Structure 1
């Protein structure tokens, strides 16, 4: 794909391409859709975190044979990472990303939907802890050093851009966006929203959306397919 930004990364893994082909099929059941999204999220997340994290010594421990060894964690540490699924379909990618990280991370949900006539995002839920610790609330969380946005589809890019803006306003230093599928235009918009602070990793990229804002050939309404709400 020509002229994509430097911070756009489209997987070339042949197994991922094969799984994406299965996910596209109208004949794929809801259970298999869930499994395929999980598996593709693992593969995209593996590539994204290999680039976006580094290994860091964290102390010492003892092996079952009694030998001392140096323990390793990630940099940023898991305590400085926030996973941000975009409701509702982003929830399907959370288990994959959390399984890749060495210990649990905070999960902060953002609820965004596209208004039907304008296709612009509308935020209806946000549980980012905007205020840091205070004397009356010492457990309140400040902004994460790294936020990982997960959402299966980047169509026009408007929802991804809105999520990036919310996290940037929160005060995160870097953002990684992981998606199963994007359009060229949507991928470009997401990458350009905060070019110096965002890396976008996707499993595949289609050319464009149709007049209803759906990716062609795309995945259909991935939320409806995941949660078996077709025909609502």
Structure 2
């Protein structure tokens, strides 16, 4: 396998590898694809968050039997989920389930221009991403942003999302993905090496001339939303 940057982490979890093999199959229907993306996201997300957040003592509370105990909170306190439309939506519930408290979900819409394969942004709902939060009284950027994107192909879309969040002012980014192509993963990882960690279930070595992973998963967004052949 191609050597990857040090801020890229590829899981070796045996259950994850088995589920990834099931997801690759063209026989998996939309319901199965949704379930597998969710389950893979749970495992990869669990591994990523174990490194990205820390547990700290919270206030004391009381059990139903009246015993006092110490609660646990996580840091950083400000976390945002940033799914890349469309396919990143299939990963949101899994990572929400992992986090102990609700966090904001900020969507980014990016697509690859078919001829150049370069990313084009068409939607961005980061609060105050065009001007300072302090000027409007809105909350500032999250300390930790979690990008959710099942497939990293050329890496252009992921790199563009990283740059957008860096400009927004986040302190740290983790990317949770199902699979990526080695060159694209390296490109995304090198966009902000000191601020980004990328976590995946698997890596493929090649891309087709259309910028698709080989063997890959196909178009995950189309498989999730039954828009194959659009």
**What RMSD over aligned residues (CA atoms) do the two structures have, in Å?**
0.9
TM-score by length of 1: 0.96
Q: Which residue of 2 aligns with 1:67?
A: 67
TM-score by length of 2: 0.97
Q: Which residue of 2 aligns with 1:180?
A: 178
Name which of 195, 202, 208 aligns with 1:210.
Answer: 208
State the distance in 1 between where 2:114 and 2:47 align: 34
| Stretches of structure 2 lacking an aligned partner (at least 5 in a row) | none
| Stretches of structure 1 lacking an aligned partner (at least 5 in a row) | none
Q: Which residue of 2 aligns with 1:89?
A: 87
Q: Which residue of 2 aligns with 1:132?
A: 133
1:174 Cα shift? Answer: 0.1
Q: What is the SS of the residue equivalent to 2:177?
A: strand
Q: What is the SS of the residue equivalent to 1:89?
A: coil
1:3 Cα shift? Answer: 2.0
State the distance in 2 between where 1:24 and 1:128 align: 32
1:187 Cα shift? Answer: 1.0
8 Å contact 2:162–2:173 — kept in the other structure? yes
1:2 Cα shift? Answer: 4.2
Matches within 5 A, 1:78-117: 80-117=78-115
State the distance in 1 between where 2:222 and 2:3 align: 32
State the distance in 2 between where 1:152 and 1:133 align: 34
Number of aligned positions between the proteins: 227
Q: Which residue of 2 aligns with 1:195?
A: 193
Please identify runs of 4+ aligned residues in structure 1 that moved more than 6 A: none
State the distance in 2 between where 1:55 and 1:216 align: 39
1:155 has 2:153 as partner = yes
Q: What is the SS of the residue equivalent to 1:107?
A: coil
